[in-house]
Every structure is written in structure tokens, then in C-alpha cells.
Structure 1
Amino acid sequence: MSATILQAFQVFTTENPLASSRSSLPAIVVMGRIHETDQPASDARWTFLFIGSLDEFHQRFIFRMEREFDHGKYLDRRGQQVRGADFIRQLNKAIEQARILTATELRKRSIMAVTWSQDNAETLGITTHRMIAKVPFFTDTRYGFEIRDNSDAQRMVLFTMKLKEIAQGMGRCDPLYTGRPMRELPDRLQQQAG
């Protein structure tokens, strides 16, 4: 069985773009620096482990990650299996040290552009938006934008949470994968836009 090594992770908070004006509960973004067990540690890259509401974070993400660690799907940075409860303790420490999500924080982790699948882009209605670039990806087409400023970071959270909201309405929302953007190279977006 192949496992994913979680070298590091960071928790971020940001304004919840779907929250009513009465709610002050933030959205949560969890990023992890991961690589597969058959890859060298130098191949590790930052990726999104979770983007969603605080409620979903507590009710679904934490439970799911605890189970993934217990079943050996994720290993610690030394490549050793740890109990889900130990991961939760580490996650709680990371929550205490949570940072505000900004474009700078994303760029520090080499997340400079993001894309979504054609299906997701069509669901969002963004395929013809002037700020969205169309990028070929194997047999699929992906749509996305460069992360230049904090409004782009917030737009990324909005698109992800909107996709989750739609999927929840259809009863098929996975807290780890639904709506999650894929990192992209800004040069590829610029080539397609230009």
C-alpha cells in the first residue's frame, strides 16, 4: 500500500466568503508539504489538505484525517506510522499558531496559481470570465488564475467553498477533495492567456 508522507503542515484562517454578515466564524485552510513513500523527500511540495468552513473542519476533516493516519495512509516526516490521536495533538498546536491566509503566505509555499477541472469550472460558471485562463491538462482542460494579491487568495477560497456547497446539496461532498484547487505554474496560465 502506498502512503503519503506529511513532512509539515500549516493552518490558516481567512474570512468565510459564504458566511452571513452575522457570522464571524472564519474559513480554514490547511496546507501540507507532502510526498509519496516512493519519492525522495526533496520532491515534497506544498498542497491543500483542506479548504472549508470552521464547522466542516471540526466535524469532518479532523475525524477523516485521524482515520487516515490510523489506517497508515499518511505517515509522519520520518516515514513512520503515527496514531490519528497523535496527529490531532499536532494539529491542535498548529491551530493555536494559525496564520491569516494571504497571497504572500501562498507564494512562500510555491502556490502562485491555481486551477480547477473543466467540470468544476463549468459548475462555478467561470469558463468565460476574463480573469480566468484555460490550460490544457492531459485529456482535460483546467481553468484558473494567478495568485497575485489577497483578493486572489480569497477568490480561491470562495470558489472551493462554493463547489463544496453545491456538492453537499447533492449529498456527495468529500471534505478532503471536493472543490480543492490544483497548483499550477503561472507561466502556463500566462502562455494560455497571451
Structure 2
Amino acid sequence: MILARWRAKDGEKRPVMPLSRVAGLTVSLVAGAAVMGIVSEVEKPQVQLSIKPPQNAIAFIAELPRAQRDRRYISGEALAMEARARAIKPCSTVLAGAQPAVAQAGNFLKGMFGIGDIGGANGRGGGGDHGRGLALDFMTSSYSTGTALANFVLANRDRLGVTYVIWQQRYNDGNGWSMMENRGSPTANHMDHVHVSFRADAKPPAVNC
């Protein structure tokens, strides 16, 4: 804390006057020349308050204690970052009849790769992964998009709860690609979509959309 005191005209000392902090910023005390620390015996000091913090003092507003969230001391860029952060929401757990954790991962991948047509459990019977809500088909006519999605999923298998991927008539469970038999059509051979299967015990991944 910075303290200042001076003698009154009658020679008596006035009480010590504390100059604490303004919005977490140190108050500068100026009396002729700049004086830092404990200032005493100063004749009528003038108090100069600095309301613009140094650049490194500007913090992301969400990281500040509530009492210090004064917009005057926050940069416009930080405010914009906070607004974007507040707009982010957890991915939906509803997608094509899939299990909640599968749907959440699927919605995350859908937004990341811009794929609008995704097949799941809806309209599927039987006891396979699709029928149990544990698989999704990401339809795409772009080889580069499909390859990027497949590689991303495989690189994040544990996080997303993935068991295997099929793309371009190839199968990969994390141990490398292997060719599959010819099933007779582009769709059956997974030439127009990336198939992703998930574990039955997969938990919702920590992802936002």
C-alpha cells in the first residue's frame, strides 16, 4: 500500500491517508517528481490516477475475479473472445437415432468437416453397429474430405470411443489399413462415405460444437 502524509498549516499532522488501488491498478503518487513507496512530509501532494493498465495487465475477462471485471480495463479483443466462448455449446446428443455418445461425436465431426448427410440407426434393422446406434456413415463425394475425416477419427480413437473406420474399401481399427472384398457397388464398398463404428461403452467426448 502507498501512504502519504503532510503537515497542516497549523503545524499539526493530519491523519495518514491511504492510497490503495483502483480496479486492481497501482496508484501513482506524484509530488513534483515521481515518488514510489512510503512518502512522508510532502507538502500537499497531487494524486495522479492511471486508468490505463500496461498491455501485459490486460487479461481475458473470464479469468478475472468477478469484482475486477470492469469493462474499462478489458481490451475489445478480449471481450470478443469472451463472446465467442459463450456462444460455444456442447454438441447435441441427437443424431440419426444413434446412441447419445455416438451422436455427440458425430455432431462434432459433422461441424468440423462440413458434412450434412449422415446415416445412423434410423431405418436400419438387425444387430449390427448401425442397428444398435453405434455406427455412423458420413456421406461425401470428396476423396480429400473423406480421407481427412478418417485420419482425424483414427488419430482420436480413444477420445471419441471409436473401434474402427471403413473408407474406400479399406478397413482400419488403429493397426493400419487393410483391403476389403468387393461388395459390388460404390456405396457397399464405402467409396462415397466414411463408416465409423463406436464402442458400446463409449462416454460422451469432451467436445463442443
Interval containing the TM-score (normalised by the shorter chain): under 0.3
Query: What TM-score do you get using the length of structure 2 for normalisation?
Result: 0.22
Q: Name the one with the larger strand percent.
A: 1
Q: Which is higher, the Rg of structure 1 or of structure 2? A: 2
Query: What TM-score do you get using the length of structure 1 for normalisation?
Result: 0.23
Higher relative contact order (CA 8 A, sep 6+): 1
